[in-house]
Amino acid sequence: MTNLNLLMRVGKAILSILILNVFWAIPVLAADNMRFHGALVAEPCTIRPGDDAISLNFGTVVDKYLYSNQRTLGKQFQIHLVDCDISLGTTANIIFTGNDSVNLPGLLAVDSSDMGIAIGLETLAGKPLYLNQSSDDIALDTGNNIITLKAYVRGEPEAISQRTIKRGEFNAVATFNLQYY
């Protein structure tokens, strides 16, 4: 009789497992609750590897120079565009984004915002490139193109008049976006 009880218990356990497996195998359907969308595009140019993270070192900036001249000379940097196909777009413009300086709107705030300085951007001709504003149109040529710009350090007006520019290392981060058309 013990063998029969054991056999019945094992049989019930196996039957229970089979029934549970059937329920687990039945798919549960829900209404659509996720949708994916996007746009696949072809851009006229590719940014040269390495130019997607440009580092610019101003070296030593003397505060007395800023008190006398308000800003440093511009230091050049370049963005290289390669494999440009002008059938996809003949013109580009560039927009820089970052933390806007409170005292010099349109210029980039440095991480230590109480230093009394900000970072400005400009074209080679000296035309300002303000944060969050499109540059003038840049004509593209087939193949490779180089966009050369300049960055400079500028003293905030009050820090210059009060002679309160703080010495020390400074950093700032900006992001550039190219728009083609």
Burial track 138-175 (b if 16+ CB lie within 10 A, e otherwise):
bebeeeebebebbbbbbbbeebbeeeebeeeebebebe
DSSP 122: E
Question: Is 2 within the bounds of a domain?
Answer: no
**pLDDT score of 39:** 76
Into how many domains does the chain fold? 1
Question: Is 74 within the bounds of a domain?
Answer: yes
Strand spans (E) along the chain: 46-47, 75-84, 91-98, 108-109, 117-123, 138-139, 143-155, 174-180
Question: Is 32 within the bounds of a domain?
Answer: no
User: Domain range for residue 51?
Assistant: 46-180
Question: Is 160 within the bounds of a domain?
Answer: yes
Question: Is 71 within the bounds of a domain?
Answer: yes
Question: Is 111 within the bounds of a domain?
Answer: yes
Question: Is 30 within the bounds of a domain?
Answer: no
Question: Is 34 within the bounds of a domain?
Answer: no
pTM: 0.77
CATH classification at residue 145: 2.60.40.1090
pLDDT tens-digit profile of 10-30? Answer: 666 565 665 555 555 555 565
pLDDT tens-digit profile of 115-170? Answer: 999 999 999 999 999 999 999 999 999 999 999 999 999 999 999 999 999 999 99
Handedness of CA 134, 123, 120, 76 (dihedral sign): positive
Residue 40: CB atoms within 10 Å: 4
Strand spans (E) along 85-155: 91-98, 108-109, 117-123, 138-139, 143-155
